[in-house]
Chains A and B, each alone.
Chain A
Amino acid sequence: QSVLTQPPSVSAAPGQKVTISCSGSGSNIGNNYVSWYQQLPGRAPTLLIYDHNQRPSGIPDRFSGSWSGTSATLAITGLQTGDEADYYCGAWDSSLSVVLFGGGTKLTVL
């Protein structure tokens, strides 16, 4: 089954900003909410952003999400070394009736 498309890796220096894109189609991102998950090394994934741009309690506002058409973007500002992790986007696909994940993006804070 198809996946949502993310860049394999991004990097930036501490204090800077990075963005991670997630590209899909009309049957998934185009018509359903996107969520983002953070997976720290050796840990289970945790929810970072839901409903395109909402943060669960406890997630700092350095993390933000946006959405337009069939693409979504995760932005992280004020990068910290503790942000080094894999980031995944996810969305329901209404045509396939499955949940799709992006391939994941590894963030390196130089």
Chain B
Amino acid sequence: DVQLVESGGGLVQPGGSLRLSCAASGFTFDDYAMHWVRQAPGKGLQWVAGITWNGRSTAYADSVKGRFTISRDIGKTSLYLQLNSLRPDDTAFYYCAKSRGSDLKWHFDIWGRGSLVTVSS
């Protein structure tokens, strides 16, 4: 079965850092671009960041640019999101999503269950 499993969420103070992980299985991980999408409680979906199949190209939403870093480890078939300088409005469920293709423009055909990040003092 194709599966994405996020981990690493939790409670963090404003200004703090966190690293999310997404373990992929059931498909050839290094053939596809990957993304992070978040959803604040009771709100809509917001794309956060994406990375191409080979990790050479990344893109970020303006709201996280300079604070978040997306990366991937092909050997471990894992996707990561480093969250720095966290703010209360970063509080959300963070979903890992697989792209249909190798670059960033394709739709998301597989989603993880999400990991909750809460930023609060």
Q: A residues within 8 Å of B by Cβ?
A: 1, 32-33, 35, 37, 39, 44-47, 50-51, 56, 86, 88, 90, 92, 94, 97-104
Contacts and interface: CB of A to CB of B under 8 A. Distances in A.
B111 A46 contact: yes
A32 B61 contact: no
Contact of B61 (A1, A47, A104): A1
B44 A1 contact: no
B104 interface: yes
A44 B114 contact: yes
A98 to B, nearest CB: 6
B109 A50 contact: yes
A47 B108 contact: yes
A99 B109 contact: no
A39 B108 CA distance: 13
A22 B60 CA distance: 23
A45 B45 contact: yes
A27 to B, nearest CB: 12
A72 to B, nearest CB: 12
B67 interface: no
A32 B61 CA distance: 18
A47 B107 contact: yes
A98 B62 CA distance: 9
B44 A104 contact: yes
A93 B31 CA distance: 22
6 contacts: A33-B105, A33-B106, A45-B95, A46-B111, A92-B104, A104-B45
A51 B109 CA distance: 11
Contact of A99 (B47, B63, B110, B112): B47
B113 A92 contact: no
B111 A45 contact: yes
A92 B105 contact: yes
Interface string B18-60: 0000000000000000010100000011110010000000011
A50 B100 contact: yes
B18 to A, nearest CB: 20
Contacts of B104: 92, 97, 99
A30 to B, nearest CB: 14
